[in-house]
């Protein structure tokens, strides 16, 4: 039997956590069983997928909410996707983001293809979410925290994100040294890194507040690593930098901007701090574990599904800056504890979050839907 053509749809031009997960899936998917296609907009995601040998189809999946021309954008792109599905004999449609689902859902419905909705966010059951839950054939939630509010019933399957641990292995001390020098981190300093796109819910304000409480530890520096990659947090970076200056933390807190080379970034960091509110998954948590970096995190959203307190990291109550700074202080001044937590987390990520296991689990969902749809219209044999 020939490989089934699968259309993956993602609106993003940049690469966030959901897009990096998609790229890993596109790279590892069994090409003898599935032929991946990607519908997306021009940008870093499209370029990276093309480099993997994936057929990339450029479709204008523009922002719809609040856009006066939203109905026109929706109609135009849906027609493009519908034609693409029929022309390529697509057997199944996979929507990798909520905005992508707004386009992929109607196109799948019009062409009578099964729709898989891959849910990377904690969503309230809005009218659209309820409509999509009815229309999709299956939903993949990246955590129990994501799955809980979904009105999908037994359609939803929890499949945690995965990481390829080997990508974070090896000696990256030269890259780490260059990054630390670029960021102005003194030799011998303990560098606490927060890796997250600049969004208020990611908790950069709390990290800065924790840095203020750690100012007595002369060796401790903090790097805020991430940018406003989706252009949806106007003014937030300016606010954060103003706060750092006004609190006299300019010599202790550095803004490193968006970084693509995560293995190099994590090799430069001694401790990862994760301060998101109601985190859907937190891909950087498993990346840090694979890189051997100990973690302090808010016990919010899906984080307790990934980190076990005092075994694979330190968890503190969400929003408790005092507890956050105390845990960071503990790891910064107790290297033996930091190493033990990092070692445990490394073993855990290899056992529970291996990307190949995740890919196989997703393939089982796709194969199950295809087996129940043997006579798809327009499917090539």
Question: pLDDT (tens digit, 9 = 90+) per residue, 321-360?
Answer: 999 999 999 999 999 999 999 999 999 999 999 999 999 9
The CA distance from 377 to 287, in Å, is 41
67 and 129 share a domain?
A: yes
Q: Are residues 181 and 297 in the same domain?
A: yes
Residue 379 falls inside a structural domain: no
Residue 294 is assigned to a structural domain of this protein: yes
Residues 174 and 315 in one domain: yes
* CB neighbours of residue 208 within 10 Å: 22
* pLDDT at 73 > cutoff 90: no
pLDDT at residue 364 is higher than 50? yes
> What average pLDDT does this structure show over 100-105?
94
Tokens of 185: 């981190």
Q: Is residue 12 part of a domain?
A: yes
Q: Is 35 found in the same domain as 105?
A: yes
Whether 147 has a pLDDT exceeding 60, the answer reads yes
Domain that holds residue 119: 4-162+355-371
Tokens representing 48 are 């990276």
> Which pLDDT value is given to residue 335?
96
380 lies in some domain: no
* Contact status, residue 37 vs residue 55, Cβ threshold 8 Å: yes
Are residue 128 and residue 199 in the same domain, yes or no? Answer: no
Kindly indicate the confidence band of residue 15, based on its pLDDT and cuts at 50, 70 and 90. Answer: confident
For residue 255, pLDDT over 60 is answered with yes
d(CA 342, CA 334): 13
Measured CA to CA in angstroms, residue 111 lies from 79, 84, 175, 212 at distances of 11, 10, 49, 56
Q: Which residue has the higher pLDDT, 64 or 243?
A: 243
Given a cut of 70, whether residue 249 has pLDDT beyond it is yes
Tokens 């999709």, located at residue: 136
CATH of the domain at 138: 3.40.50.2000
pLDDT at position 150? 96
Q: Are 341 and 364 in the same domain?
A: no
Residue 242 pLDDT exceeds 70: yes
- Look at residue 12 and tell me whether its pLDDT is greater than 90: no
On whether both 60 and 129 belong to a single domain, the answer is yes
Overall number of domains in the chain: 2
> Mean of the pLDDT values across residues 307-324?
98
In a domain, 21, yes or no: yes
**pLDDT score of 381 more than 60:** no
Based on the domain organization, do 151 and 245 belong to the same domain?
Answer: no
What's the order of all strands across the beta sheet hosting 4-9?
Answer: 55-58, 34-40, 4-9, 92-95, 115-119, 138-141, 156-158
Based on the fold, state whether residues 362 and 278 are members of the same structural domain.
no
Statement to judge: residues 120 and 237 lie in one domain: no
158 and 175 assigned to the same domain: no
Q: What is the pLDDT of residue 374?
A: 61
Task: Give 140-202 as a DSSP string.
Answer: EESSHHHHTT-TTGGGEEE----B-GGGG-S--HHHHHHHHHHHTPPTTPEEEEEE--S-GGG
- The mean pLDDT of the chain is 94
Q: Is residue 376 part of a domain?
A: no
Do 149 and 238 lie in a common domain? Answer: no
pLDDT-wise least confident of 46-55, 74-83, 231-240, 334-343: 231-240
378 in a structural domain = no
Q: Please give the share of the chain, as a percent, with pLDDT higher than 70.
A: 97
For 228, phi then psi, to 5°, come to -90, 70
Question: What is the model's pLDDT at position 95?
Answer: 97
Model confidence at 380, pLDDT cuts 50, 70, 90, reads very low
Confidence of residue 1 (pLDDT cuts 50, 70, 90): low
Residue 80 counted as domain residue: yes
């Amino acid at each position: 039997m020939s490989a089934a053509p699968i259309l993956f749809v993602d609106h993003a031009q940049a690469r966030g956590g959901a897009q990096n997960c998609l790229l890993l899936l596109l790279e590892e998917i069994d090409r003898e069983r599935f032929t991946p296609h990607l519908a997306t907009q021009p940008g870093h995601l499209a370029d990276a997928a093309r480099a993997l040998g994936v057929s990339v189809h450029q479709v204008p999946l523009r922002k719809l909410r609040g856009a006066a021309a939203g109905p026109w954008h929706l109609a135009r792109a849906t027609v493009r996707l519908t034609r693409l599905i029929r022309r390529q004999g697509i057997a199944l449609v996979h929507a990798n983001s909520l905005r992508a689902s707004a386009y992929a859902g109607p196109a799948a419905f019009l062409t009578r293809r099964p729709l898989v909705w891959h849910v990377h966010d904690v969503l309230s059951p809005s009218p659209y979410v309820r409509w999509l839950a009815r229309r999709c054939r299956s939903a993949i939630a990246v955590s129990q925290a994501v799955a809980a509010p979904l009105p999908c019933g037994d359609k939803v399957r929890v499949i945690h994100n995965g990481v390829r641990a080997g990508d974070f292995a090896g000696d990256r001390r030269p890259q780490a040294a260059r990054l630390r020098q670029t960021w102005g981190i003194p030799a011998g300093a303990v560098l606490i890194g927060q890796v997250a796109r600049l969004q208020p819910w990611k908790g950069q304000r709390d990290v800065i507040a924790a840095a203020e409480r750690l100012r007595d530890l002369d060796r401790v520096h903090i790097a805020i690593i991430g940018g406003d990659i989706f252009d949806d947090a106007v003014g937030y970076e300016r606010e954060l930098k103003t706060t750092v200056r006004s609190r006299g933390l300019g010599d202790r807190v550095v803004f490193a901007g968006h970084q693509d080379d995560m293995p190099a970034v994590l090799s430069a960091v001694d401790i990862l701090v994760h301060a998101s509110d109601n985190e859907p998954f937190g891909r950087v948590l498993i990346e840090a574990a694979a890189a051997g970096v100990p973690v302090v995190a808010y016990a919010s959203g899906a984080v307790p599904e990934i980190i076990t307190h005092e075994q694979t990291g330190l968890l503190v109550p969400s929003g408790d800056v005092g507890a956050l700074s105390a845990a960071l202080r503990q790891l910064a001044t107790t290297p033996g504890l930091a190493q033990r937590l990092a070692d445990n987390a490394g073993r855990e990520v290899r056992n529970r979050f291996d990307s190949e296991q995740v890919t196989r689990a997703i393939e089982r969902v796709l194969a199950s839907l295809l087996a129940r749809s043997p006579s798809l219209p327009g499917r090539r044999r």
